[in-house]
Chain A
């Protein structure tokens, strides 16, 4: 066993038996030792907390007091809680408003960037990653200022062309749009680069052959680029579903007067923010865990549904 793993070099004397056995053992466990840190960290900070969420959700759990088993009471209350349904609606709305435009914009930009004779290609690619390296907190503060009702740049421009000022932070639709703009701004460039990488793997000859056959830009995009992008599109739809349903920081920073509810009428409180409010402001750990379970069901459901749809629906052959 030992020899097959660590063959001795011709010139060197073989290791003493005890030494060889010790080394052999180390060699056998080495691969497991190399992957162990990840599994250990994931278990302690990911899997166990996730499973424990389902357990805590069955209790009236005060962090510094009693834990009383209440069965499914938390879920019962949750389903009758208008704040929960409000947060669920806000979450889905913000997620749709941020994901759909983001992926479409990325598709178009990736197609434009995938041009052999494009000048400044490196510059364009690099600038698109700038939002990704900017923190969500900084992004939120700038965008809230730019979208301010009274002194924001955007409303100033709207006023110049004769429109009424829009109160982005205080209205339901306005606050959803504002958060969606922040999320889209942060991620569209990153998604563009992922799409571009896939496009570049398509060989030039295929496009040339299509061009010879008279296929224009749009048809090349629909019949060559789009099918080639299928795997990465599925990937980005699933990841943006998982991320988009857990939006927190943007919502927390929109209304500093009522940060934990994202405004006086909870107009943009997402489920993660509702979870945070119940868990770490109200200290209702059991109820917060129940929100976590509901969010889990939603994320798994939507991600699964999107995966199913995006892998099943195929473009019409033509």
Chain B
């Protein structure tokens, strides 16, 4: 693998490592710092020189997080929202990507162009009418207001179409067709299993995006028991408690599940992002 990569001729200079190590440090340090402040009490978070090793106050602060906002509930809410969106995107985008990659139908190319064009539409600025529609549906302060709009997206369709056209040969699908399989069966039994790794990464990206989403949940959710973790963090920052450690503990607790997930699937996410990127 590494032998086929470009620029194999020259040696790696020390400053290449120095710069990359600096970048890695910049990426990891804020999270380490979050943990430090999350484990020290207010006095330490506001003393100089700052502490640089974790303190022993984590459980105290975590307890305070749980008593200030319904944190467990917000984690469950976030899991429900992000999980449903992740699975929804993996399946619905694969389905649409399959249609665009492998099925012949009238208007296909024009419709695909339309999908790509929607990626450039800045829909966030339409948040006022989005709220009106949500209100009309009776979805204000509900989780489906967060879930339904995120179930499919243009980027995912584009991505799955790329993967399906490059990894699945027409012959396999035709063989299934000759065996009498319906289009749905061909998708579900033949095509989807073959692109499951790509769909998995797409679902992960959807999960992470939904888990971290802020503006829309902030506008739509009203009652503390409907909060997602991000809104719970904001509520912690808002609480009259001036304790920095409290908001930091909340942030740390909200980030921890994704960090743990990342340890297991980070490699596949990196590979997936690079696979889906522009080539050449």
Residues of A within 8 A of B (CB): 6-9, 12, 23, 26-27, 30-32, 34-35, 37-39, 41-42, 44-50, 52-53, 56, 63, 105, 108-109, 112-139, 141-143, 145-146, 150-151, 153, 156, 159, 185, 188-190, 193-194, 196-204, 206-208, 211, 217, 220, 228, 231-232, 235, 238, 242, 245-246, 248-249, 252-253, 256, 259, 272, 275-276, 279-280, 285, 288-289, 291-292, 295-296, 299-300, 303
Contacts and interface: CB of A to CB of B under 8 A. Distances in A.
Interface in B205-230: 208, 211-212, 214-215, 218-219, 229-230
A53 B125 contact: yes
A280 B248 contact: no
Given A115-B7, A137-B234, A201 B279 contact: yes
A147 to B, nearest CB: 11
Given A7-B180, A246-B122, A138 B127 contact: no
B279 A198 contact: yes
Interface string B17-44: 1011001101110110110010000000
B233 A42 contact: no
Interface residues of B, number: 109
A46 B121 contact: yes
Contacts of B142: none
A235 B11 contact: no
A207 B6 CA distance: 7
B270 A32 contact: no
Contacts of B138: none
Q: Taking chain B's interface residues, is the majority helix, strand, or loop, or is none over half, making it mixed?
A: helix
A57 to B, nearest CB: 9
B8 interface: yes
B10 interface: yes
Contacts of B244: 145
Interface of B: 2-12, 16-17, 19-20, 23-24, 26-28, 30-31, 33-34, 37, 45-50, 92-93, 95-96, 98-100, 103-105, 108, 111, 114-115, 118, 120-133, 148-149, 151-154, 157, 177-180, 182-184, 187, 208, 211-212, 214-215, 218-219, 229-230, 233-234, 237-238, 244, 247-248, 251-252, 254-255, 258-259, 262, 266-267, 269-270, 273-275, 277-280
Q: Enumerate the 5 nearest inter-chain pairs by beta-carbon distance, A residue then B residue, closest first.
A: A116-B8, A138-B251, A49-B129, A197-B277, A49-B126
A45 B95 CA distance: 20
A198 B280 contact: yes
Contact of A130 (B31, B33, B248): B31
A53 B28 contact: no
B96 A50 contact: no
A45 B251 contact: no
Contacts of B212: 133-137
A129 B261 CA distance: 13
A156 B48 contact: yes
A242 B122 contact: yes
26 contacts: A31-B105, A35-B111, A38-B152, A46-B121, A53-B126, A109-B23, A112-B20, A115-B7, A117-B8, A127-B23, A135-B258, A138-B233, A138-B252, A143-B30, A145-B244, A146-B33, A153-B50, A194-B274, A194-B277, A194-B278, A198-B279, A220-B7, A238-B120, A249-B215, A279-B128, A295-B125
